[in-house]
Each structure stands twice: as structure tokens, then as C-alpha cells.
Structure 1
Amino acid sequence: MTETTRRALLATGAATALTLGTVSFARADGGDLTRTVSGSLPPGSPDYVYLPLELPRGVRELHVAYSYDRPAVPAGTQGNALDIGLFDQRGTALGGRGFRGWSGGARKEFFVRADDATPGYVAGPLRPGTWSVVLAPYTVAPQGLAYTVTVTLRTGESAPAVPAAYPPERARGRGRAWYRGDCHLHTVYSDGRRTPAEVAALARAAGLDFLTTTEHNTHAGHGAWAGLAGDDLLVLLGEEVTTRNGHVLALGTDPGTFVDWRYRARENRFAHFAREIRRAGGLVVPAHPQATCIGCAWKFGFGDADAVEVWNGPYTPDDEVALAGWDAALARGRWTPAMGNSDAHRDPDRVGTPQTVVLAEELSRAAVLDGLRAGRSYVAESSAVSLEFTVTDGRGRSAGIGERLAVPADEPVTARLRVTGAPPGGSLRLVTDQGVLHTAQGTDAAEWTTTAAYATYVRAEVRHPATAPPLPGALAAFTNPVFLGA
């Protein structure tokens, strides 16, 4: 049947949510029960539209399918895009326990049962009460967005729930060593096209020691990695929290941690969720802060960040701008470690391009996160590129990446860079708060002497040959800084 939508605006901070009329079902006493709801959302609609579903007892499967129109729009005007997700009888409160799944715009239908669910959705009991399908109009055409949602309840005895299993938090490793990882990856559990098994195989082929699974707005895939880790590959868990004002990686959180995304910067709620990420043992890492896709650029500031993803996927002008912004913050005295990750979704995206190389005491969740948090890391375009970077004083004391060399302001210190896999014809650059102060062309080593009075920090870059001088070539690698002075 078709029901006319009823709208009631509910204030939720600075934004609004729209709740439609409740869809009720007869008693689930056998057979399938189906209801169809159609409606239209105008331009300027709230970010989230909730369709309440009154589930009776005896439901073994909930199935939802939806569609929406895509009218032609003038050049330069956004068309329709509608995301979808699900909350159970525990409610839709921000940060609450009712979340049961999200597929964004990647799927047009999904199901949930006690023993199984569509990737991106959380299997578990279908308890009676008011559930909610959430519709999220990402963009709306000038003509409006007409949608149809069809809900089917399949009744009968539920299958037993499957106990959760997660990957181990430690791998054999090599003791204290440099470990390579890619901490921004997607699979079929959000909008990726690869399975977790395929991504794990690609990570091993790329020479990675660890990875982090970061599906958009869902933790439902955490258990899919249980059998894919090993002594040669540590798997960390997380989420890409995809808000309308930027994306942030909840990196290395406890198994089963869900982080809400339903807020904008003007609502001043991000600090709360950053604390939630840390309480779950994870790092707060703004992703691709200068990305140009709608809603992708980071608008929440960096005061709550533990690190920032400066390089995302193949090197582009977006990354160059992000690098410059990160370096400018360093010059102002704001130290936030930098990372680089592939954000790989599907072929031909390359897992491990780029990758973050971190100095950790062992190959474990705790040790890797400690190294990333401290900035004892550099970013390389592949496992073919590795480097050593230290600063040494006249007494033989030295400091490495992410560390401080405590020396008098006028005492000379020497920065030394050694690179394996430097691109032919490229350049090595040593950068301070004043900019690039030393360049070595077509070589795999650079050395430069300075003082703490002249340079509050020194960091290194490895660049490909320039293709549009005077602009520099694309990065092949870069380091976090070595700090100088007391």
C-alpha cells in the first residue's frame, strides 16, 4: 500500500531532523508483511529524515528497499543523492545505542536478521518496538527529491545469533622496528568493491605490516577481519566518520565501537565524539582535509585531532594544499603528527599508496597507536621507498623523527637524510618554519647544518621531478619533524 507522508520537524541543536508518519504492521503471525511509503523532499530539507517502523513480535527478517528520482538539472547544479541507514527500537538519539547499519548510497536494499545482515548492517535480534529507517538527502535537485521506501517483514522463528569474533591486537612483528601501514581502507561493508579478504591480500602484496579498516559510518564489518590477520599482518579496527562538514578516521578503536556522524560543525558536538573515540582506545585523525567533494573538506578545526591525514591516495594538488596547511600550523607552534593513507575503495585504487611508516616497540595495536600519536613516522608512496632522518649535535647526541634534540640556540646541529628508492631525477628537500632551506638534486642523501635559533624544526621531503616548474614535483615521501631547542 502507499501512505501519505506526515511531517513533523523536531529540533536537534542547530540542525533539524524530519520524522515521517509511523508505519505499522499487523501482528506477525505468518507470511510476509509489506508496506510502501512514498514522498518528496524539497531543496533545503533536513540532513536526516526518519521513517518510524512499528515492528510486532515474531519478525525474523527486516528487508528494506528504496529508490528515488534523478531528474535532469542545469550544468553546475547538484542533482539528487539519497543515503540510507537503520536504527532499532533503542532509538535514534545522537550517540545512542540504536544504530543498526548504514550503506549510504552504495546499496538500494538491505536486510537484517539475528544471524546475518547485509554488509554495513549489524546482525542481531529484531525486538518489537519502534525502529527507524533514516534517509539522508545528501543533495537535492531544484525539482525536489521523490522517494519510495518498501519495507518487508518476514516472520517465523529466528536463527541463533552468531557470536562476535575480532582480529587479535598483536602480531609477531620484529620487536622495535619501523612498520608500514595503511589506515584508511574501504570494502563491501561500506562503499568499497573489494572484500576484506581481497584487501588483506593486497595489503600483504604491498609490503604492509598493518592496516586499519575504516568503513563509512558503520562498525558492522569489524568481525569480518577475524580470520584475515596473522603473524605477518596486524588488523586495527575503526570507522570513517562521514559528516556533512568533513570526514574523520576513528583509528584503532575497540572492537564494535560505533561513532555517530549526524552533526555539523556549527553544532559544536565534535569534541564530545572525539573524546568518545579516545575512550574507545582510538586516535582522532581528520581525513583528506582539503578534498573537494561535497561535504569532504574538514571544517571542525584541528584542536581535537591526534594526527591529520595530509596525503590521501595518489598525490594531487589537494594533498599539496593540505601539506602546506599542516606545515604552516607547525610554524605557529601547533604540532599535529601527519599521516598518509590510500583511501582505497576499488580497482584500480592501490592499497598502500601511500603508506605511513611508524617506529613502534612491537607490532601491536597499542604500540602502533603510540608511535602514530607521537609522530614517530614518515609517509612513503610505496614499500619501495624508505628513509632515515636524524639530527645530531657536536657531542654525538641525536634525535629522530617526531623527537626533540635539546641544544642551546646557537649550537650547530646537522640534519642527515638517507633514502632508499628515491625517484630518478628527483630532489631531497629539508624544510623548516622558513620553508625549504636545503635541496639536493638527483641523489639519495642530503646533509645540512643549522642551529635551533635558525630552525625550530627540520623535516624532510623526497620529491619526484617537477612537471610544471616552479611548482615542485609530487611527493615520494615526507617525514614528521625533528624539533630543535630546549
Structure 2
Amino acid sequence: MPLSMSVSTVEFAHAAGQADETEVVTGHLDTGAADFVHLPVRVPAGVREIAVSYTYDKPQVPQGTVGNACDIGVFDQRGHELGSEGFRGWSGGFRTQFAISASEATPGYLPGPVDPGVWHIVLGPYTVAPQGMDYRVEITLRYGEPGPAFTPNYPPQRARGRGRAWYRGDCHLHTVYSDGRRTVPELVAAARAAELDFIVSTEHNTTSSHGVLGDHAGPDLLILTGEEITTRNGHYLALGTDPGEWIDWRYRARDGQYSRHARLIHRAGGLVVPAHPYCPFVACQWKFGYDGADAVEVWNGPWTVDDELSLGEWDAMLVRSVRRGDDWIPAMGNSDAHREPQVVGLPQTVVLADDLERHALLAGIRAGRSWIAESSSVDLGFSAAGGRGVHAGIGGRLRVRPSDPVTVRLDVSGAPAGALVRFMTDEGQLSQTALGASGSGTATWRTTASCSAYVRAEVRRPPADGGASGLPGPMVAMTNPVFLGGR
């Protein structure tokens, strides 16, 4: 296990007839402690439920210095090594206690048998103050007959669609099953209010929500299963993986584990999507590179400077793919909504798919047949046309000779009054048009494949400072590119 350590095994001296038993573990971690500290617990036979609570000190630190933050989770007797099937749950720093039994478990944790053997409570000292971290973990075993086994109800992989059509979805969402505040019913209600066709459950480092999602899916809303893998060197999404498929997060870029776990996501039928690559928070910036990625989340929540940075890097990646003749990586956008007033569907990815079905949607995202909008009020159509009736849509390639004239067209409705349409190429912005007061209209522009390797479209609000900073205004909608000429 990279960057991990263990302490002495906790033993319980269970007496016959005893209803429950508690042991306490205390310790100190210095600055520079391992990423993960394992507390072995020997669980005897006859345990009905295991319950754990923990605390740690939070001393004052100088301004600009990180303080103490510590996550927690647990693995059962089947093992705690990287990728082990013994995973039983993770709540990060969102909860101070949890319990697991055959019938139920605290959100973030997996219900199931409390079998005898050595379990491992895992502490994740996310950041450690200069004074170090004192921790206290209380473990309680409750004895008795186990309750009825929990039966997961996974969501169906198809909903009532419209055949080949554009479907709106939010693929980065959190509930009380990780660090969100919404319940699953509240999330589903918010998705319906946002007029979404599909959502993806992406709780941090756990699949515990998967088994209840089927209770809330319906013919009008497809719910796909997934996970947000929260490493110390950035976060990435596993989108549309098989229900119950868990992906480990306990590694850094230097450990050489990312590519193996990306392959595991692909084997589970999912997509690999680096999330909010320039997020300014500790351990959120993406450090693994983009090999193995199927898309990149360039827009996360309300448009901010870090989204502008992500967009710039993605556009540079498009240029490199053209220069090298490599495959390109599409862009997507998601809300990453955790709680009110964060808006589900701000933004949303609109995908051209053969049906409202898991594999069809993932194929559309992977192919770049998608665009991003701030809400379902915004609609657009984007295409490129050449001579002799040839044309191509978003994510496609217009096969024309280098000197053939090409006309690109963007039809917009539902944008704010005075929004700006920008046509972007491998040279940058080459055309800008203002929409009228209605927020609807059509913009066209002519180019050739020799001048523009690709064209993509953006709809933005005017800059608040009138353009004095040189930065464009917030994004309203944006497309993946149409490539011109070439192979």
C-alpha cells in the first residue's frame, strides 16, 4: 500500500452473554504522516454490528498554514490492500461515526455480514498541522443474531427515450452517501426540476448509494452508477460503471497506479473523466495527465477562473491532437452539486445518443457528440457545411479539401440578452457576434480547412468589466469541436 502505516491490533476479550463491548485507540501523527493509517481490529464470531466513532484535535495554526483534517473508512476481514474486495465504506471527513450490520449501514458504508477476522479502520490524515494530530477512535462491537440481509435495488440501465436524440444530463453529483446534504429523493427531485433526462451518482470513494438508487429511478429519469475517485493528486469520475463496482483512490501520481485503475473503470463499462482539473482546493488539482481519459470536465458548477484555466488547457490539448494526429478528448460539464443552493444541472452536458440508455449515452460522451449548457433553457445547434452538400455536426469531421470554403452555423435560443457568440479555432477566437435582446439568433462564419483545423462555438455573457481585464464573460453554452479536412 503506498504511503501507509499500521498500528497494533485491537483485541476484544468477549465474555459470554455480553451484549456489546467497546475499545478505544489513541495516537499521535506528526506532520508528514503517511496518507493512510490502518487500525487493525480483531472481530470475533457472533458480532451483529460494528460501530466506530472518532475525533482528532484541531489546534490553531498560522494564517496560510494547513490545519488538521482526517478522513475515515473501513475494510473487512477480506483485506485492505489496494483494490481489495474487503472495502466496506468511506465517509471522508463528513461524518464522525458510522455503523455496519447485515441489514443496514450508515450512508457511505456497505451493509453486509460482520464476519470474524481482522478488520481495518483506515484513517486518512488529509492535512496535518505543524503541532501534529492527536486522534481517538472508539470501536464498539454489538453481539447477537444478525438481521435480514440487505438486498440492493440497482437502477435500470434504460429509461423512456426519444430514439436518437439530444439528452441532457448531470454526471457529477453528491448526496448524504458521501459529503452532500441532499438525500437521494431530494437529488432526484432537483434533477427533474432541472428537466434532465439522466444523472450519474458519483459519491466520493464509495458505491454505497448504488443499492438504493433503483428505489428512485423512473421512466422519465435514467440514473447511472459511478464514483468520484478522490486521490491526493486530483479527482476523477468513473461514469456509468457497473452497479456496485468500486474503484480505489489510495494512491498519488508518483505511485504509478492511475493507469491500472483507469483500465478497471473501462472493464466495468465506464468512462474516465478527470474532474475540475484546476480546482484551487488542497489535493484537487489534476496531476496524472490525460492518458486513458475519455473526456475532461472543463466546466464545474458556476463558471469561475478555474474553469477558464481548464478550458484553456483542453483547447491546447485539441491543438496537440491535431498536430500529432492523435485521438482527441471531448469536454463535458457538470454541476458537482452537494447541497442547496447549489443548482443541479448547472451546468449540464447535452449528448446525442441513440436512446436514453447507459451504453448509448456513454458512447455519445466518448465520441464528443455533446455540448454544455448552463440550464435546460438554453438550446443550440452547431454544424459545418462544405460544397457538394457535405456537412458535419458536433464531434464530427467535415471532409473537405484544404481550400474548399466551409460555413459554420450556430443556432441559439434561451441565452441571456446581449450574449456573445464566439467561434474558436486552433488559432483562437476568429469571430464574435452579439445576440439580440431576445437571447436567440443565428451566427455564421466562413473559413477553410487550411485556416482552421477545427471550429467550436461558445456563447458567453458580456464581460462584467467591459473587457478591461482581457477575460471573456461567463460561459452560457459551449460545444465540442467540428474538425475540418484531414483524415
1:228 to 2:225 alignment: no
State the partner residue of 2:383: 390
Q: Deviations over 1:359-400 (max 9, x none)?
A: 000000011001000000000000011100000012121100
State the partner residue of 2:461: 464
2:10 alignment partner AA: V
Q: Is the 2:271–2:294 Cα contact (8 Å) retained in structure 1?
A: yes
State the partner residue of 1:336: 329
Of the three residues 170, 175, 188, the one matched with 2:158 is: 170
1:483 to 2:483 alignment: yes
Residue range with higher mean Cα deviation, 80-89 or 423-432: 423-432
| Structure 1 gap ranges (5+) | 1-11
SS at match of 2:360: helix
The runs of 4+ residues in structure 1 deviating greater than 3 Å are none
* Distance in 1 separating the partners of 2:195 and 2:383: 24
Q: Is the 2:230–2:249 Cα contact (8 Å) retained in structure 1?
A: yes
* Distance in 2 separating the partners of 1:28 and 1:211: 49
* Distance in 1 separating the partners of 2:100 and 2:191: 30
* Distance in 2 separating the partners of 1:165 and 1:424: 45
State the partner residue of 2:392: 399
The normalised TM-score by structure 1 is: 0.96
1:451 to 2:448 alignment: yes
State the partner residue of 2:187: 199
* Distance in 1 separating the partners of 2:197 and 2:259: 31
State the partner residue of 2:10: 23
* Distance in 2 separating the partners of 1:422 and 1:446: 13
Q: CA deviation at 1:27?
A: 3.2
1:366 alignment partner AA: H
State the partner residue of 1:98: 86
Q: Is the 2:14–2:21 Cα contact (8 Å) retained in structure 1?
A: no
1:264 to 2:257 alignment: no
Of the three residues 340, 345, 348, the one matched with 1:347 is: 340
1:275 alignment partner AA: R
State the partner residue of 1:55: 43
Of the three residues 16, 26, 34, the one matched with 2:22 is: 34
* Distance in 2 separating the partners of 1:471 and 1:291: 19
State the partner residue of 1:474: 474
SS at match of 1:318: helix
Q: Is the 2:171–2:200 Cα contact (8 Å) retained in structure 1?
A: yes
Q: Deviations over 1:250-292 (max 9, x none)?
A: 0000000000000000011100000000000000000000101
* Distance in 2 separating the partners of 1:391 and 1:168: 37
1:370 to 2:345 alignment: no
Q: CA deviation at 1:28?
A: 6.1
1:74-473 matches, within 5 Å, as: 74-333=62-321, 335-443=328-436, 444-468=441-465, 469=467, 470-473=470-473
* Distance in 1 separating the partners of 2:248 and 2:365: 24
SS at match of 1:332: helix
Taking every aligned residue pair, what percent have the same amino acid on both sides? 60
1:22 alignment partner AA: T
* Distance in 2 separating the partners of 1:304 and 1:296: 19
Q: CA deviation at 1:348?
A: 0.7
Q: Is the 1:247–1:296 Cα contact (8 Å) retained in structure 2?
A: yes
* Distance in 2 separating the partners of 1:34 and 1:379: 52
* Distance in 2 separating the partners of 1:252 and 1:133: 29
Q: Is the 1:28–1:58 Cα contact (8 Å) retained in structure 2?
A: no
Of the three residues 59, 64, 68, the one matched with 1:71 is: 59
* Distance in 1 separating the partners of 2:303 and 2:253: 27
Q: Is the 2:152–2:212 Cα contact (8 Å) retained in structure 1?
A: no
Q: Is the 2:67–2:127 Cα contact (8 Å) retained in structure 1?
A: yes
* Distance in 2 separating the partners of 1:413 and 1:230: 43
2:420 alignment partner AA: S
The normalised TM-score by structure 2 is: 0.96
1:71 alignment partner AA: P
Q: Is the 1:28–1:56 Cα contact (8 Å) retained in structure 2?
A: no
* Distance in 1 separating the partners of 2:4 and 2:15: 30
Q: Is the 1:50–1:134 Cα contact (8 Å) retained in structure 2?
A: yes
* Distance in 2 separating the partners of 1:394 and 1:54: 74
